[in-house]
Structure 1
Amino acid sequence: MRLGTTAVVLGGSAAGLCAAGALSAHFDHVLVLERDVLPADAEHRRGVPQSKHPHFLLNSGRRAIGALFPGFEEALIAAGGLHLMPSMDAAYLDEEGWSARKRGTMTMIYGSRLLIERVLRDKVRELANVTIREGVSVTGLSTRDGEVTGVSFTDDEHVQADLVVDAMGRGSPVSSWLVAAGWPEPEVRTLDAKVTYTSRWYELPEQPPESWWWRHLVIMPTQHRGEHPAEHEFLVNFFPIEGNRAIACMGSWGHEMPRTTETFTGSARRVRTPLFAAAMDRCSPLSEVHLTRSTGNKWRRYDLWATPPRRLVFVGDSICAFNPFYAQGISSAASSALLLREHLSRAEEVGTTFSSKFLVAQRKSLNVPWRLALARDRGYACAEGTEKISEWKRRIVAAVSGPAFSFIVGAAREYEVVDEHFAKVFNLDESLGDMMTNPRVLAAFLRYRVRTALGRHRVPFGFDPQAEPPVTDYSAAAR
């Protein structure tokens, strides 16, 4: 059903492109306004500094984008994306040592943020009624009688709009424009755990060593409280992407991170296993070191306004941004865009209560990744923001969250029901609360606790971090 003549999307990153796909079936013309000049191929650009770091496309986001753009997954793989099963293709080091390989319920498509956005742009350009205007800066919104009526941009151009979507990211100026137009300051909920991460790109060797059965290397931060190098508290990835390349990435909560190639390689040699630095040594560097600090969780609570502006909605970081460590950004934005399409398909018009109803529904969707992000970040003493908890609560979270995570990972090794639901939580298909109250999951936790006390594990774990991760497939033992 057509709901208007023109819809305008502010921003042409992943969130904006997904929004354009959601709008295309319901408006005669969709205009995407993007500040950058978009590259024809998978290249870095100023407006997406995070593109230099690893990006997981979670299954919820993968499905949402596939629903908006049929054939997206196939196109992503055809363009070089890697369809892998992490439990078989990733070497995973947690507190106890290397985990065993076994088949799991989760698969993922690995690729750079550059590739994901390039394939998305190709899909959007297939839509005849969508136009992407590049190299333009949005300068303001026009409003009248409680609703947004149009958008102003470069060189005093102005376009009337039946619906506007803010997809301008963390730094979106839309909230300040609305305040200037008479709306109250929106409540902003924040938690910044001082996450910093640093990455360098590498070309993989033509003939990898025989011991490299793995494609992805994951090193979790230690929970040990004794003396150790700061690098033992880093979250480390050697992340495979298209074109026989990988991104070496180190991140931490509250630590200073290396900024130069010399300090980067030096820190790599002090992480919990020598494999990370050894992998870098066998590869050819393709870039300098890229560092990012803008990583706080931030939710602009437009949904709490009594009368939010009509004909305006928000997707992606412009409304809710997450600590990038948890890989929730693109998937959450895509899910919001799909939710927008569903609401548009049921709407008769977009000028009265549409925006407020969408904000209420979106709140429920955003609450799942928001709570998941805060669950760990609240445990760090360096964390600041409105969602910071009292010191005694923080100490409890810090003491419990690490062991609880290790316990769940251990139970998932041995019980398919835990593996299945933990994968759903990781992929934003289920809330942590729902998993932790599922009777079948709780029964598996109890069985795992008893078997642990009796020393009767079916799947071995805790392999020596100083040695190569074991290649043996323990799927049969798990069954």
Structure 2
Amino acid sequence: MSQSSTNVGSESGEKFRRAVIIGGSMAGSLTAAAVAPHFEEVLVLDRDEFPQTPQQRNGVPQGAHFHALLAAGRNAMDELLPEFSTLAVKMGAAELDSTADVMRLDRAGWSPRFSSPLTFIMASRPLLEWVVRDRASAIESVSFRPRHEVAGLLSENGAVTGVRLADGTQLAADLVVDASGRRSVAPGWLDELGYPRPVETLVNAHWGYASTFVRVPQDWDPGFRALACVPYGEGALTTAAERRAMAMWVVEGERRWILTVQGSAGDYPPRKEADLKEFVGSIGVPELDQALSEIEYPERILIWRDTTNRMRDYAGSAERPENFFTIGDAWTAFNPVYGQGMTVAALSARALSHEIAAHLRERPGTLRGLADRFYDRTSELVTFCWNSSTALDYRIPGVEVTVDGRPQDQSESAGSLEFSDRLAVWASLDKDRYVKYRETTQLLRSNDWLRSDDVVDEIKDRWEELGALLTPR
């Protein structure tokens, strides 16, 4: 059975008939909001069932682990979905000062602590996803269709014209966007239509997670609302501090926090409570040991090991169909330990909102060329986050890198992160500079200022001094 769609976009302001978004998670909901002004109907299809309250669902297995929504991602969500932040906070999300409330231990030592105007939201992934989907559902033209599994694409005259569902139903559409996340099988769909698969690069430093929601004591004041300890990641990873990490922070309500423990290079954290405490204790940070000794573990500990960075180079493909593109993890999935995924999805959706409006002003009545325009606009952001994520993983001995399944020599890719280490130390020595640095890591500010001649020259001039301040554990 086929359900038709007719392209009626025109200079008169008429809308296209239908857009289909594959995947109803963060990227899919935000994409629906981005394109909604230009379509009579936006269908968000997902093979999973959506919960009626904020809770873990099967379609987002990584949802039980810690998630960081960077400040830039929050701003983009507020632009696409007005009142996103207001509702999230009302539902229990915590608003944190990124310098005063956060204790961070990395190669530069403990981060400086002082009050700043740079704030961001902390919440569980189920709550954030529920709020985003709630706000997107409030848009008149947007509807979510659970238990709708897409099995392939329809095409005609060099353009995607709809989707084929697993039950055989065909849905016509003027635009199809794959936002189905890490599970995306879009390369196979393109192959079925006679288009080349995108080049696929994988970077795997063999990270693993063990996470649980914990209960902290009444009026608990450990001196922070978020604590993160990253692995030193140097040499042969012979000590726990070099290969293990953890993070814990408040999520919904003052007594419900999330604890995520991480290990790299195949040193995976355990599932049992006693073993997990011993795993964290081996890092050798008294602040961690004290905090973990005071909390309760009312929920089970869950494991997650799908942490490979994966980029499918759709933007660089020589040939691809019109009226179809990918977004979020379906395009580039980052190692989640670096907390970039949700924010990149939000920024990409906001860019799509701007680009589709500009495209239709210049070329009313057609969506041909929009995919090229979207990839051109967002490739720089995606590539920047990819480079920062993989550069840190290259530091981990035993990291595996493949391009279309072929192993790659890492002698050049791994390079030296000595400059980046000193840059972090340099930034931490001045409050104003440190806020700018955190604005950069929160993707609110371009990193161009960090590459300026003045900054580079100063770091080179102070090379030995800054190097001496690096803090091995």
TM-score (norm 1): 0.87
Residue 190 of structure 1 corresponds to 202
User: 2:425 aligned with 1:415, yes or no?
Assistant: no
Match of 2:269 among 239, 258, 272: 258
User: 2:443 aligned with 1:428, yes or no?
Assistant: yes
Gaps of 5+ in 2: 1-12
Residue 472 of structure 1 corresponds to none
User: 2:395 aligned with 1:379, yes or no?
Assistant: yes
- Counterpart CA distance in 1 for 2:86 and 2:454 is 34
Q: CA deviation at 1:446?
A: 6.5
- Counterpart CA distance in 2 for 1:365 and 1:394 is 20
- Counterpart CA distance in 2 for 1:153 and 1:392 is 45
The secondary structure found in structure 2 opposite 1:386 is strand
**Contact 2:234/2:395 (<8 A) preserved:** no
The secondary structure found in structure 1 opposite 2:182 is coil
The secondary structure found in structure 1 opposite 2:290 is helix
Q: What amino acid maps onto 1:374 in structure 2?
A: T
Moved more, 56-65 or 268-277: 268-277
- Counterpart CA distance in 2 for 1:275 and 1:308 is 52
Residue 213 of structure 1 corresponds to 223
Residue 101 of structure 2 corresponds to 89
**Contact 2:29/2:132 (<8 A) preserved:** yes
The secondary structure found in structure 2 opposite 1:116 is helix
Q: CA deviation at 1:426?
A: 1.2
**Contact 1:202/1:280 (<8 A) preserved:** no
**Contact 1:8/1:165 (<8 A) preserved:** yes
- Counterpart CA distance in 1 for 2:454 and 2:14 is 45
- Counterpart CA distance in 2 for 1:32 and 1:40 is 16
**Contact 1:311/1:350 (<8 A) preserved:** no
Match of 1:222 among 217, 221, 232: 232
**Contact 1:87/1:103 (<8 A) preserved:** yes
Gaps of 5+ in 1: 466-479
Total equivalences in the alignment: 452
The secondary structure found in structure 1 opposite 2:50 is coil
What are the Cα deviations for residues 34-74 of structure 1, in whole angstroms up to 9, with x where unaligned? 11111111100011111111111012211111110122122
What are the Cα deviations for residues 190-248 of structure 1, in whole angstroms up to 9, with x where unaligned? 21121212212101111325xx1211112232357599643552121112211221111
Q: CA deviation at 1:19?
A: 0.3
Change (3 A) 1:393 1:255: same
Q: CA deviation at 1:259?
A: 3.0
Change (3 A) 1:391 1:370: closer
Residue 362 of structure 1 corresponds to 378
**Contact 2:213/2:297 (<8 A) preserved:** yes
Moved more, 370-379 or 8-17: 370-379
- Counterpart CA distance in 1 for 2:205 and 2:466 is 33
TM-score (norm 2): 0.88
Moved more, 161-170 or 264-273: 264-273
- Counterpart CA distance in 2 for 1:61 and 1:228 is 36
Q: CA deviation at 1:110?
A: 0.8
Q: CA deviation at 1:421?
A: 3.7
**Contact 2:196/2:320 (<8 A) preserved:** no
User: 2:247 aligned with 1:237, yes or no?
Assistant: yes
Residue 74 of structure 1 corresponds to 86
Residue 149 of structure 1 corresponds to 161
- Counterpart CA distance in 1 for 2:120 and 2:194 is 45
Q: CA deviation at 1:24?
A: 0.9
RMSD: 2.7
The secondary structure found in structure 2 opposite 1:255 is coil
Residue 393 of structure 1 corresponds to 412
Q: CA deviation at 1:105?
A: 5.6
Residue 277 of structure 1 corresponds to 289
- Give percent identity, aligned residues only: 27
What are the Cα deviations for residues 90-123 of structure 1, in whole angstroms up to 9, with x where unaligned? 2223346544422346322111111111110110
Q: Counterparts in 2 of 1:30-109, with a 5 A limit?
A: 30-95=42-107, 97-104=109-116, 106-109=118-121
User: 2:319 aligned with 1:307, yes or no?
Assistant: yes
- Counterpart CA distance in 2 for 1:431 and 1:114 is 30
Match of 1:329 among 341, 344, 348: 341
User: 2:211 aligned with 1:176, yes or no?
Assistant: no
The secondary structure found in structure 2 opposite 1:411 is helix
The secondary structure found in structure 1 opposite 2:259 is strand
